[in-house]
Homo-oligomer: A and B are copies of this chain.
Amino acid sequence: MPTIRDVANAAGVSVGTASRVLAGHAATSEESRASVTAAAAALGYRMNARARSLRGSRTQTLGLLVSDVRNPFFSELAHAAEHAAGEHGYLCLLANANEDADQEQRYLDAFASQQVDGVLMTPQSENNPELGRILDDGTPVVFVDRTLRSHTVPSVTVDNAGGIRSALEHLRRRGHTRVGYIAGPTSVSTGAARLAAIDELRAEFGLDNDPLLVIEGDFRAESGTDAALRMLELADRPTAILAADGLMALGAYAALGPRADPADIELVSFDDLEIFGQLHLPISSVSNDPGTMAGEAVRMLLAAIDGEQVESVVLPTRFIDRSAPRGER
């Protein structure tokens, strides 16, 4: 691969001049601009981004660490973040923590040694020492979707309590008082916040206060299936099930089986997945658009990289009612 030196030689100028022309610097003559450009094209010159970033202080690279790329919510988030970053000339290093704290640390270390300009992440483990080091180094970090008690970091999250409230309002309108809740892990901020909201609002919405109606899952489909099956075996079955995330809602859907009657049980999910619109049992949802979250988070991160002070934002949710018309219940 030709270097800038080859280009300079071919163009008959010094590397300094070649560098200035290639960087679009102002102080260059028409003549050298022409010869350097021609030489670069002829040689098929391509700038070495790593060498450039060694000299300068920016790498134009962002680290993006999500909990699980196979979760549609996060893959949408990753896509949107990568897209937004690209629009600002940044490249993303995408990594998948895979719900594993060790892996999360390894990737953060890799990000740091790759000199990323900033990190966007959906954190999952409290007191992650690697995160502490990165912050100490002065690398800007923005949390998306989740937060951590152990570290004060700007974040983009949704109004979990508001979302839960909208779901409960829906369920009250539909006449449900016996509602099963498939919780997320309370070790994760979203899991904890949503469960806390349920407990807070239980009385106001006249929900049965039965501990058997709350089962903690792990934000994956299978745990949703298990939880739903256990609830359905109860002597006093719930008439509706609310899941703390989309995958667990899908798991609960699977548990109900292909012959389930929409009038039999009502499903509501936190997170809106595209597939929900296509199922034979409608799943209403609290929609928290990952695309919007990612866009906002990238904006914040870039501002932080530019040295600005950024404030956390909490986005509103929107309830999507997919339930059958009243008459059909």
Which residues on A are within 8 Å of B, measured CB to CB?
Answer: 1, 44, 46-51, 53-54, 59, 69-70, 72, 75-76, 78-79, 82-83, 91-96, 98, 109-110, 112-115, 133, 136-137, 221, 250, 253-254, 258-260, 262, 274-275, 277-282
Contacts and interface: CB of A to CB of B under 8 A. Distances in A.
A225 to B, nearest CB: 9
A75 B69 contact: yes
A220 to B, nearest CB: 11
A59 B262 CA distance: 55
Given A46-B109, A59-B50, A75 B82 contact: no
A79 B94 CA distance: 10
B49 A113 contact: yes
Q: Top 3 A-B pairs ranked by shortest CB distance? A: A254-B278, A280-B280, A94-B94
With a 10 A CB-CB cut-off, give which of A93, A274, A280, A282 has the most chain B CB atoms.
Answer: A280
Contact of A92 (B54, B94, B253, B277): B94
A277 B275 CA distance: 13
Contacts of A282: 258
A93 B76 CA distance: 17
Contacts of A262: 258
B95 A82 contact: yes
A264 to B, nearest CB: 13
A1 B111 CA distance: 14
Contacts of A53: 50
